[in-house]
Structure 1
Amino acid sequence: MRPRPLALAAAIALLPLCAASLSVTAAQAATPNASAPRVALPNTVTPAVAHSQKQGDVPAAQQLSVAVSLKLRNTADLDKFLADVANPASANYGHYLTPAEFTARYAPTQADVDHVVAFLKSQGLTASVSANRQVIDAKGSNAQIAQAFGTHESAYYDASDAKQFFANDNAASLPADVAAIVDGVSGLNNKTVRTPELAKPNTSHPLATPSGYGPSQYDGAYNLNKVGADGTGVKVALWEFDGYTASNLSTYDKQYGLTGPAPTTVPVDGQSYDSAPGDGQGEVELDSEIISGVAPKATQLVYEAPNSDQGEIDMAAKIVADDQVSVISISWGGCEPDTTQSSMTAVDTSFKQAAAEGISVYSASGDDGSRDCTRSTSGASVKSVDFPGSDTYVTSVGGTNLQVSGTSYSSESAWSTAGGGVSTVFAKPSWQTGTGVSGTMRTVPDVSSNADPNSGFAIYTQGTSGPAWQQYGGTSAAAPLWSGFTALFNQKAAAAGKANLGQANPALYAVANSSSYGTSFHDVKTGANQDFKAGTGYDQVTGWGTPVADALTTALLGGGGTTGGNTVTVTNPGTQSGTVGTAVSLQVKGADSASGQTLTYTATGLPAGLSISSTGLITGTPTAAGTSSVTVTAKDATGATGSATFGFTVATGSTGCTPAQLLGNAGFETGTAAPWTASTGVVDNSSSEAAHSGSWKAWLDGYGSTHTDTVSQSVTIPAGCKATFSFWLHVDTAETGTTAYDKLAVTANGTNLATYSNVNASTGYVQKSFDLSSYAGQTVTLKFTGTEDSSLQTSFVIDDTAVNVG
């Protein structure tokens, strides 16, 4: 162990500042039963902990409430059902499940729920189970929570937004038999909150009369008034973290001559804000008024939840368990990097149930362009997208600047701060295909509508001195507009004896990839956000564009005669494989329900070097290794289309690479860091920690106080080469138990390869290795980052590194 500086005393000196605002104490009871075998739950620590200042302990008696999310069963079967229920060629198309049917097929068993509840109660916690058996809310003191989940709650200060919060320092853990049932635990911090995606013009001020577009203008511009529906018989859920004033909504309706059911509030976790709405009131009233303007006779259920991870999870579970609505409108979100991934997973589980039940979900794409973290912790330098819009089962709605002539469409361009980009969490789904769609991860938005506050909507809401007219924009205006459109569609579908739209994206992308695209959407081709430009077809600013609602309704219903009712199916050839430099020949076949039709084939996602003929023959010679998601689409003369998606993996084959080791000073034996970049004192030859070989090594941390050490080096991996990164690691610690207090992160170009901690301590060195072949042809920076908390040392000793290619 290295000599300890006075960092611990300094940390204690900070406690009075924290105590003044967060009632923290100087000590917290140790977690009992620390020796029991436990399994850590990944992604249960808020990312904000990594760059915030710890200021003390949360009092042991402070009451906390968490949401324990449980794993679904039969997930492969669920994935197939969700694909089939959205596929017109499937016998399951439109045959949605009831909540009871979903629970019986896919929810955790009652025995599993009882097992987790029994564990929680054995720890002194109270437990209540959601109606769909997917979430258990557990409540108790901080000491009880710490005992149950193997966590330690600390007070933190985040200088980036000048806010104090509490959070768990380490990942939650559970006994192995309980952890096998649990997906994650949320609510261990109060850092993560959702913000409204709402924008005002720079000159915005309360007005005595409406300013901005009213229903006649946006309904007319998007042909919403030509659908021939008003939302009668359809229920829409508003996903809210604040409340509204009913008289403001009725004033809006009266101004525009709208009549329909008054909204009904549905409290979640006992939360109802309507008696004293907060700063988010304008968001709630914007959502409600836009939906009223599009579908005035639709019934609005306003779900109001605590603004927290747990509140969001509980709201999602309640909406799908209630199964009262066919549309959910969401105008609150947060950037993916600042959101705990276990919480996203829990909400995604409910969105899967929504898709199974035939519920469409629309969410604002964000108002900070392709840098969605601009106003949050990670900051404007990070390319990021907004959750929950990035979720696979959600339709993300971007923003435009709409110009009208009277009540008719004139022109449209992308709003410069409309959210859009590439998810780092969700993979690209099979239905996300078409001109402009690329990559392997989900991209957003999917569609768009007016959102620029300078072409904004007239909204009646609370002003600085009372209710008044405001001109609002933001993608939080675009999401409810599309939700209102879907209410109109579902009314028309019911009248035609057809199913709800359900998960909208598979159907929307099918129309966008058909001959109906030009008549069903306004393709917005001008404008940009920070990193992406609008253009022909799909783009990451406006998606496929904005609705031509009457034509889109016809296309979605399958009417209009453009395809003659034909059904085209493509036979899926199954997963394919090839080798770089070896020719490929694959015939893809399709069929048409109508006789005498000739099919023309196209494909997206083909490996480099391959192409498809109009007859469906894929040929060529692969030029690069990797795995692609290939979608082949066949179209007949009437415009009817069908598609199949399959994986295509290309192996490296004979690379011709000259075997080599690329790292410089791989064993640190020069006695200096170069060409490594290292913290002071990391390259070391002292006898306190032995090298794996030779005399020198890299020794990170070991101070027994709050400390961070790094060592990194960049190498260029030749194109086409296989590459393996390896090193020898020794972890020496004074910590005890199974809680990860001190950590070593190993990254490649910022992507985490592995994380080790004091829990990985051993008496000798252990070799670790990672495949870096995916970085062939690139320069990759390999970095070790060791972080140590305020007490009890942990040393991470690294030696004999290598990047071998061949």
Structure 2
Amino acid sequence: MKSRHLAAAAAAALLPLSIAALGTTPAYASASPSASASRTSLPQTLSPAVARSQAKGEVADTQQISVAVSLKLRNTAELDRFITAVSTPGSVEYGHYLTPAQFAASFAPSASDVEQVRSYLRSQGLTVTGVSANRQVVDATGPATKVEGAFGTRERTYVDPAAGNRHFFANDRPASVPSDLAQVVQGVSGLDDHTVRQATAAPHATPSGYGPTQYDAAYRFNQLGTDGTGQTVALWEFDGYKSANLSTYNTQYGLSGPAATTVSVDGANYDSSPGDGQGEVELDSEIVRGVAPKATQLVYEAPNSDQGEIDMAAKIVSDNRAQVVSISWGSCEPDTTPSSMSAVNNSFMQAAAQGISIYSASGDDGSRDCTRSTSGSGVKAVDFPASSPYNTGVGGTNLTLSGGVYSSERAWSSSGGGVSTQFAKPSWQTGTATKRTVPDVSSNADPNTGFAVYTAGGWQVYGGTSAAAPLWSGFSALYNQKAAAAGKAHLGEANPALYQVAKGSSYSTAFHDVTSGSNQDFSTATGYDQVTGWGSPIGDGLANALLGGTGGTGNTVTVTNPGSQSGTVGTAASLQIGASDSASGQTLTYSASGLPAGLSINSSTGLISGTPTAAGTSTVTVTVKDGTGALGTASFTWTVSGTGGGGCTAAQLIGNGGFETGSASPWTASSGVVDNSSGEAAHSGSWKAWMDGYGTTHTDTVSQSVTIPAGCKATLTFWLHIDTSETTTSTAYDKLTVQAGSTTLASFSNLNKNTGYAQKSYDLSSFAGQTVTLKFTGAEDSSLQTSFVFDDAALNVS
């Protein structure tokens, strides 16, 4: 795995198999700094590296130091209860996730808490550089002498002999704050800069190692009938990538999907000149692409520091653009300040409440995760963030294939695993330990059975749990697409559901139980163990068990994908869908979404028949359910062309115009846009497209491609409601643009607010004979929400 040494820690900004520092001598004492009469110490803010390194002197008074002050969450008992309920299948609240605004209203630090911290920092001569959108972090910078005065400590320089006499700075004692401020401040990070880098492996001329076809077949991801369409995966990175390398990988394996997009955190963007971690970033992206090729990838890039990690966690959950987060960076718990871990974990709690799945590599040093860092190989330790109760820790195996399919697995001897010293045992965790144990699941990670990766202009074979985490993240994207087609909630925090399945009767059809091998201190066992967790995924079996919602029955429904279909307006169509059940005697029920207008499916036989009435291309998802609730799906495209004559058959061309399927398809929409909550009413029915409304900088899009037959008159209509908190009557701060292809049909803003829905109508006859993409783009600025809500869209031709 790629390990990010938390800046307050002594471990590593590790990349796979990096070498970290080991300090040897204690720091010397210093004179006490001046402080107010009543201050409260923050004992979790002292870097463990200080005690093992040699102090050399004081940091220059003028040296600029940036800090991240983390604030305490509110109503934490209720938050704990809600996260358990929203993440546990069978609960009344399961899958009813919060928006960032809802989380902020109930659990985030208050605006007055933030202002109290800002005022204090400014009064101490520091410059406040930002406040996270979720109000959990206040960033500030200033000269060392001002930082020392604000936090009651001294900043000193140190040398770490075990890391080649590398120099770093750190506070020589725990930070403190005025006692009244301690009521809202949880910790301070950035008071040290103890970080390390590592080199990458040599490239190969041609790809070797497992490619997508092999690992998708081994774990039966190719049996899910999904490709990640409509899903977004965030990659958690401290280095950059080259788009050309990702393109070479895609071309080699015939993959296509949305190009990866960089999201900068604290001004970081390494893509113009990636560092030693480039291979890690490209590994993460390529494995996710290999499993879920159509998923959108957001590459969050942050400075490799405590502050960078804390701010990245806060930004990901505040943006709320991704349903899945893949993390391949970390550090061992003993070398990481608890203050920084707690600050990041607060954002992970928000992620769980919002329904975001997080998969983290469990480490590549077995049960001695500090082997290449300050605490050393004599300490049993696990890796953070995998040890967070709101992350699914992913361990490693050695995978063997036979004839291109799964043959066997044994534990990779370097698979990270053990018992956390930081986090208590969650309610869903298996075992007798009183603390959280790691990992939860696993998949191939042994470099001897590694993955083909194209990076830095050449092919390499990569292993490590940093390959296992993105593989599981890709599976989560496939599952979420399948769940949406079945009208089920996406997975969210995965562990409660995964453990429920694993403890149920479907365990053997959902997981490969790895029962051979060990790491330094733990051996595999039947069921759960601290080397491979519950084991590796059986993709279709696990997805079906999760869709069952209560641990599943063990049945597997398999739907045969018929491949792309075509037809013509006015010509009868007939397609028989094939499906099978692993259990005998089951009655199968068929349903389909996204069918071309005029077609329907027989719920008993699976025959799709009828006469298409409108031209266009749609994505059809067929769902087959047996009597126990087990589900199988298959998705494919169906293109209907015009009649070819000079006339025009009257038809309505937009699919799912009222969004009443409960999912976007055949629209492509930003996460959370298709909505049935009571916050904004639908024009008719229960569902609508609700764009923006966050009160922060945000952009939502909804689009659908339609083919307008030649010779037709075409009219686009939709109902629009605009609700805003902006009070201006002259300035358009938040805007909605409606386009047909590159042509802008209309623009709306907060100035067009209305109390109900108004119907809009536009002539699209000029597009007859063409395929055109209808796109709605809502862009919101940094304050005061505007909601653009549209419903019941139609494109009528005659």
| TM-score band, normalised by shorter chain | 0.5 to 0.7
SS state of the match for residue 413, structure 1?
strand
* Offset from partner CA, 1:347-369 (integer Å, 9 cap, x none): 00000000000000000000000
Other-structure match for 2:192: 189
Other-structure match for 1:677: none
Which whole-Å CA distance do the structure 1 matches of 2:399 and 2:222 have between them? 17
- One-letter identity of the residue aligned with 1:168: N
What is the root-mean-square deviation of aligned Cα atoms in Å? Answer: 2.2
Other-structure match for 2:139: 137
Which whole-Å CA distance do the structure 2 matches of 1:639 and 1:52 have between them? 60
Other-structure match for 2:546: 556
Query: Structure 1 residues 61, 29: closer, same or farther in 2, change over 3 A?
Result: farther
Alignment check: 8 A CA contact 1:47 1:340 kept? yes
Of 228, 234, 241 in structure 1, the residue corresponding to residue 225 of structure 2 is 228
Other-structure match for 2:460: 470
SS state of the match for residue 501, structure 1?
coil
| 1:387 Cα deviation after fit | 0.4
Query: Structure 1 residues 449, 352: closer, same or farther in 2, change over 3 A?
Result: same
| 1:521 Cα deviation after fit | 0.3
Of 161, 172, 175 in structure 2, the residue corresponding to residue 172 of structure 1 is 175
| 1:159 Cα deviation after fit | 1.5
Which whole-Å CA distance do the structure 1 matches of 2:534 and 2:36 have between them? 55
Other-structure match for 1:515: 505
Which whole-Å CA distance do the structure 2 matches of 1:317 and 1:549 have between them? 31
Alignment check: 8 A CA contact 2:358 2:391 kept? yes
Other-structure match for 2:90: 89
* Offset from partner CA, 1:366-401 (integer Å, 9 cap, x none): 000000001000001111110000011000000000
| 1:156 Cα deviation after fit | 0.6
Other-structure match for 1:489: 479
Which whole-Å CA distance do the structure 2 matches of 1:334 and 1:96 have between them? 30
| 1:438 Cα deviation after fit | 2.3
SS state of the match for residue 259, structure 2?
coil
* Offset from partner CA, 1:567-617 (integer Å, 9 cap, x none): xxxxxxxxxxxxxxxxxxxxxxxxxxxxxxxxxxxxxxxxxxxxxxxxxxx
Which whole-Å CA distance do the structure 2 matches of 1:28 and 1:529 have between them? 42
- Aligned residue runs from structure 1 range 412-423, under 5 A: 412-423=409-420
Other-structure match for 1:376: 373
Alignment check: 8 A CA contact 1:217 1:406 kept? no
Which whole-Å CA distance do the structure 1 matches of 2:253 and 2:381 have between them? 38
Alignment check: 8 A CA contact 2:231 2:481 kept? yes
| 1:540 Cα deviation after fit | 0.6
Runs of 4+ in 1 over 6 A off after TM superposition: 26-30
Q: State the TM-score, normalized to the length of structure 2.
A: 0.65
- One-letter identity of the residue aligned with 1:327: V
Which whole-Å CA distance do the structure 2 matches of 1:414 and 1:226 have between them? 25
* Offset from partner CA, 1:393-429 (integer Å, 9 cap, x none): 0000000000112320011100011111111111110
Alignment check: 8 A CA contact 1:233 1:491 kept? yes
Query: Structure 1 residues 561, 150: closer, same or farther in 2, change over 3 A?
Result: closer
Other-structure match for 1:160: 162
Residue 61 (1) aligns with residue 58 (2): no
Alignment check: 8 A CA contact 2:36 2:178 kept? no
| 1:90 Cα deviation after fit | 2.3
* Offset from partner CA, 1:230-288 (integer Å, 9 cap, x none): 00000000000000010000000000000000000000000000000000000000000
Alignment check: 8 A CA contact 2:218 2:404 kept? yes
Other-structure match for 1:314: 311
| 1:164 Cα deviation after fit | 1.5
Query: Structure 1 residues 545, 561: closer, same or farther in 2, change over 3 A?
Result: closer
- Aligned residue runs from structure 1 range 246-261, under 5 A: 246-261=243-258
- Aligned residue runs from structure 1 range 392-431, under 5 A: 392-431=389-428
Of 449, 454, 463 in structure 2, the residue corresponding to residue 460 of structure 1 is 454
Of 328, 331, 345 in structure 2, the residue corresponding to residue 331 of structure 1 is 328
Alignment check: 8 A CA contact 1:27 1:57 kept? no
Other-structure match for 1:300: 297
Residue 360 (1) aligns with residue 362 (2): no
Other-structure match for 1:114: 115
Query: Structure 1 residues 59, 559: closer, same or farther in 2, change over 3 A?
Result: closer
Other-structure match for 1:99: 100
Other-structure match for 1:710: none
- One-letter identity of the residue aligned with 2:433: G
- One-letter identity of the residue aligned with 1:259: S
* Offset from partner CA, 1:209-250 (integer Å, 9 cap, x none): 110000000000000111111000000000000000100000
Alignment check: 8 A CA contact 1:28 1:58 kept? no
- Aligned residue runs from structure 1 range 549-628, under 5 A: 549-558=539-548, 563=553
- One-letter identity of the residue aligned with 1:109: S
Which whole-Å CA distance do the structure 2 matches of 1:488 and 1:396 have between them? 19
Alignment check: 8 A CA contact 1:60 1:141 kept? yes
- One-letter identity of the residue aligned with 2:277: G
* Offset from partner CA, 1:642-688 (integer Å, 9 cap, x none): xxxxxxxxxxxxxxxxxxxxxxxxxxxxxxxxxxxxxxxxxxxxxxx
- One-letter identity of the residue aligned with 2:168: F
Q: State the TM-score, normalized to the length of structure 1.
A: 0.64
| 1:563 Cα deviation after fit | 4.1
- One-letter identity of the residue aligned with 2:159: Y
Residue 442 (1) aligns with residue 442 (2): no
Which whole-Å CA distance do the structure 2 matches of 1:108 and 1:84 have between them? 22
Which whole-Å CA distance do the structure 2 matches of 1:36 and 1:64 have between them? 25
| 1:179 Cα deviation after fit | 1.2
Of 341, 345, 365 in structure 2, the residue corresponding to residue 344 of structure 1 is 341
Which whole-Å CA distance do the structure 1 matches of 2:550 and 2:335 have between them? 45
Which whole-Å CA distance do the structure 1 matches of 2:390 and 2:445 have between them? 22
Query: Structure 1 residues 564, 327: closer, same or farther in 2, change over 3 A?
Result: closer
Which whole-Å CA distance do the structure 2 matches of 1:496 and 1:38 have between them? 56
Alignment check: 8 A CA contact 2:506 2:551 kept? no
| 1:547 Cα deviation after fit | 0.2
- One-letter identity of the residue aligned with 1:180: Q
| 1:36 Cα deviation after fit | 2.8
Which whole-Å CA distance do the structure 2 matches of 1:151 and 1:31 have between them? 6
| 1:71 Cα deviation after fit | 0.1
Alignment check: 8 A CA contact 2:504 2:551 kept? no
SS state of the match for residue 332, structure 1?
coil
* Offset from partner CA, 1:292-343 (integer Å, 9 cap, x none): 0000000000000000111100000000000000000000010000001100
Which whole-Å CA distance do the structure 2 matches of 1:518 and 1:511 have between them? 10
* Offset from partner CA, 1:618-644 (integer Å, 9 cap, x none): xxxxxxxxxxxxxxxxxxxx899xxxx
Residue 151 (1) aligns with residue 156 (2): no
Alignment check: 8 A CA contact 1:64 1:141 kept? yes
Alignment check: 8 A CA contact 1:444 1:543 kept? yes
Query: Structure 1 residues 414, 344: closer, same or farther in 2, change over 3 A?
Result: same
Other-structure match for 1:506: 496
Which whole-Å CA distance do the structure 2 matches of 1:417 and 1:560 have between them? 33
Residue 45 (1) aligns with residue 42 (2): no
Other-structure match for 2:274: 277
Which whole-Å CA distance do the structure 1 matches of 2:126 and 2:415 have between them? 44
Which whole-Å CA distance do the structure 1 matches of 2:433 and 2:117 have between them? 40
Aligned residue pairs: how many? Answer: 530
Alignment check: 8 A CA contact 1:47 1:339 kept? yes
- Aligned residue runs from structure 1 range 763-774, under 5 A: none
Unaligned runs of 5+ in 2: 1-27, 556-627, 631-798
* Offset from partner CA, 1:12-69 (integer Å, 9 cap, x none): xxxxxxxxxxxxxx9999845x243111112100001111110000000000100000
Mean alpha-carbon deviation: is it higher for 414-423 or for 184-193? 184-193
| 1:74 Cα deviation after fit | 0.4
